[in-house]
Amino acid sequence: MDRALRWLSNAAKGELREPDEPFEIPAFDTNSASATTIAFNETQESFPDWRTTYGQWGTVNLRSLPTAEETYATGAFKDSDDEVVYQPQWGGYIDSNPDDSVSGAWALLEEVPIEPPWEAPETWEDLEGFFEGTETDPYELRANIKPVLDDEPVKILLIGFPIPASVDGDPEIIYWQPIEIQEFKDPNDLSGGFRDTGRGPEIAERREAGEEQIRWLDSDNWSHEQLTRRGHMTEWFLDRNIVLIGAGALGSMVAENLVRAGCQQLTIVDNDTYEIGNVARHTLTIDEVGRNKATAVADRLESIAPYAQVLDVDSAFPPSGELPEPIREAEVVIDCTASRGVRRALDAIRWNHPVVFCSAAMGRRASRLFCFTAYSHTFPYSDYNEAFDPWRLQEQIEWDEDEDAIPERVGCWHPASVIRTDRVMTWAGTVTRLLDQATSLSLRENHFTVLETGSGDELPTISQATPPFQDGTIWRAPESPINVQIPATCLEAMYDRCRKEHPCETGGILAGTDRLNGPALVVNARDPPRDSIQEPTRFLRGTDKVEEWLKDARESIGIDYLGEWHYHPGASPDLSRDDRTAMNEIANDDGYDCPHPLLFIVGQDEEGQFSINAYLFHDSKEYEQLERIDNPDAASTLNVGDDI
């Protein structure tokens, strides 16, 4: 009641509309008409097309859309001489429904039809005043459009007028408010008869339609700029040609985010078929089972936004033969395949113009997101590998240690796979955020982002991931061009085993990997095999299941045998004659395929504190004691030996 009283007071004083306030369309009473809605597409860019047509009328093609409510989208507007005035540019969804259409009519006023203080015309007599001074008479208009609309199932006249963005602002867009004409007046029904002079229909409309209640219909502006006002990506992306490779769980959600965020030109590339197992983590539905993913996702995206033009390429990337034009003209390329083959193919293609690249993939159980963005003429594959290699190894190690992990061969679509769709949605939204940030990259610049969140049923708390293997100790050979890094977790694993077996000697295998741009990395310090001999003055490392473990580690994780570790309880970590003999035998044993094995010896002083020395052996029976580097940056310029 208070609001109603304030409204009446402001209306009486002429203060309903204050300058600079957002302009509002008057409330047109649509209760008496059908539930038909008209969707139009008007922008600031289309506004100049109408400047010379104020006061005129014409016809418009109305395309029926398969929505739950009866909806028609405006097609070509023609003037009374049948010349095209304006052709709205729609996306694929509306362009694919051109056959089921009706003819309508339009008339353009020069001002908003508002009866003071804020009321829309209710009768044709009320509307008549807004046509005064124009080339169009409303009753003559009804007579002229009768032949066009008479046989249509719904008779629609669009009344257009220019509107500003704010009160008292300059007009910047055309708004269309539709009228449903229930029936046209028949001259034969005129009382007293009439002479057929050709003006009979106009006279009938003038006499009979003046007091007729206007049946206003609902309408909405479906233009791109209107539908994205509630939130969109950086303007730079909205009219770019975007290619997305991989329409799986992550790719389909990224693509949907792009369209809902205002992107208009997309090409989806995927040769895979949508299967029932995909339903758990995909934007498609059961209706699309058996269809190509790229085609089905493209159809879905076009049904989301009327401005979206989405093409599909139903083949693997890169397509055979010449690249399709949408890929050649791509300004943004997004890879959601997690495929090395795709990244290599992108590296082999050179675009004539700089491209924003984004390669996104989820980690184990989707607890991490890896997102690499670059701005270049070709995808910088070597830079990507350098950034991702430590994480690839970390992921493989975690998979190997996860007893509940689903075997990779099952496929991520399998119902037993443990990635939930809410996690995929989280990362898909993050990818579009990171894409926004990619617009700040300079030419040939790239950025690698790793985000992680809790696993299991924890509430997602996303944070920047700490790079793996950063807390290790680096050792350098004094003569050979070899550096070795051993993470703190491996050292602690050795110390724990020493505490457990004390006062007996113990030890195990060292496994890891060589890295071309950094120290060789020890990632696993194995406990002693079951058949090992552990005594206070002797340790003999056993062989039970060692060969099987090394074979599995090489195939599943990509790590190899690097050497041994050994514990001297209550003694210094110095090399003994037996240690040297054993390591020389390993260096000369082709079965180990390690001509330069490592040996880490853990010692212990009288106070129980551990100390450690490291040695590098050669098949020539020579060895080097490695030097511990307290400043890791000092080793960054050293090359890694190929033999480790």
pLDDT reported for residue 409 = 41
**Which has the higher per-residue pLDDT, 557 or 509?**
509
- How confident is residue 262, by pLDDT bands cut at 50, 70 and 90? very high
Question: Does the pLDDT of residue 643 top 80, yes or no?
Answer: no
Burial class (CB in 10 A: 0-12, 13-18, 19+), 117: middle
Question: pLDDT > 90: what percent of the chain?
Answer: 62
Q: Specify the length of the chain in residues.
A: 644
- How confident is residue 352, by pLDDT bands cut at 50, 70 and 90? very high
Question: Does the pLDDT of residue 38 top 50, yes or no?
Answer: yes
pLDDT reported for residue 206 = 87
- Give DSSP secondary structure letters for 292-332: BHHHHHHHHHHHH-TT-EEEEE-SPSSPSSSPPHHHHT-SE
Q: 520-525 and 507-513: which strand pairing?
A: antiparallel
Residues that are catalytic:
505
Cis ω on the peptide bond leading into residue 528 (within 30° of 0)? no
The tokens for 507 are: 């030890």
Residue 336, Cβ neighbours under 10 Å: how many? 26
pLDDT reported for residue 620 = 81
Q: What's the whole-number mean pLDDT along residues 294-316?
A: 96
For the chain, which residues make up each domain, given as ranges?
21-227, 235-464, 473-635
- How confident is residue 514, by pLDDT bands cut at 50, 70 and 90? confident
Residue 602, Cβ neighbours under 10 Å: how many? 22
**Which has the higher per-residue pLDDT, 286 or 608?**
286
Residue 47, Cβ neighbours under 10 Å: how many? 15
pLDDT reported for residue 644 = 28
pLDDT reported for residue 449 = 96
Question: Does the pLDDT of residue 634 top 70, yes or no?
Answer: no
Domains 235-464 and 473-635 share a fold: no
Burial class (CB in 10 A: 0-12, 13-18, 19+), 93: buried
pLDDT reported for residue 400 = 66
pLDDT reported for residue 33 = 64
Mean pLDDT of all residues in the chain? 88
> What number of CA atoms fall less than 13 Å from residue 407's CA on the CB side?
2
Q: What's the whole-number mean pLDDT along residues 56-71?
A: 93
Class of the domain covering 473-635: alpha beta
CA distance 50 to 58: 12
Question: Does the pLDDT of residue 457 top 70, yes or no?
Answer: no
**Which has the higher per-residue pLDDT, 591 or 301?**
301
CA distance 605 to 497: 17
Min mean pLDDT across 48-62, 278-292, 406-420 is at 406-420
Min mean pLDDT across 20-24, 49-53, 376-380, 439-443 is at 20-24
Question: Does the pLDDT of residue 475 top 60, yes or no?
Answer: yes
pTM of the predicted model, to two decimals? 0.82
List, for residues 117-149, the tens digit of each pLDDT value. 778 999 999 999 999 888 899 999 999 999 999
pLDDT reported for residue 191 = 62
Cα angle 288, 291, 297 (rounded to 5 degrees) comes to 65
pLDDT reported for residue 116 = 78
List, for residues 394-411, the tens digit of each pLDDT value. 888 887 666 555 544 444
Q: What pairs with residue 308 in β-bridges?
A: none
Which of helix, strand or coil describes residue 617? strand
Q: Are 505 and 498 in contact (CB under 8 A)?
A: no
Q: 598-604 and 560-568: which strand pairing?
A: parallel
CA distance 337 to 301: 19
> What number of CA atoms fall less than 13 Å from residue 490's CA on the CB side?
28
Superfamily of domain 235-464: NAD(P)-binding Rossmann-like Domain (3.40.50.720)
Question: Does the pLDDT of residue 72 top 70, yes or no?
Answer: yes
Residues 6+ apart with CB under 8 A from 80: 56, 57, 58, 144
Which of helix, strand or coil describes residue 390? helix
Q: What's the whole-number mean pLDDT along residues 302-309?
A: 95
Element (H, E) at 265: strand 265-269
Q: Which residue has the tokens 């791509």?
A: 330
Q: Are 102 and 64 in contact (CB under 8 A)?
A: yes
- CA dihedral 201→202→208→211, nearest 10 degrees, is 150
CA distance 583 to 575: 11
List, for residues 107-118, the tens digit of each pLDDT value. 999 999 988 777
End-to-end CA gap in the chain:
84
pLDDT reported for residue 415 = 47
Which of helix, strand or coil describes residue 634? helix
pLDDT reported for residue 330 = 97
Residue 617, Cβ neighbours under 10 Å: how many? 27
Q: What's the whole-number mean pLDDT along residues 85-95?
A: 93
> What number of CA atoms fall less than 13 Å from residue 21's CA on the CB side?
7
pLDDT reported for residue 458 = 67
Q: What pairs with residue 451 in β-bridges?
A: 369, 464
Q: How far is CA 201 from the centre of its chain?
A: 58
Q: How far is CA 573 from the centre of its chain?
A: 54
pLDDT reported for residue 558 = 80
List, for residues 546-594, the tens digit of each pLDDT value. 888 888 888 777 889 999 999 999 899 999 998 999 999 999 988 888 8
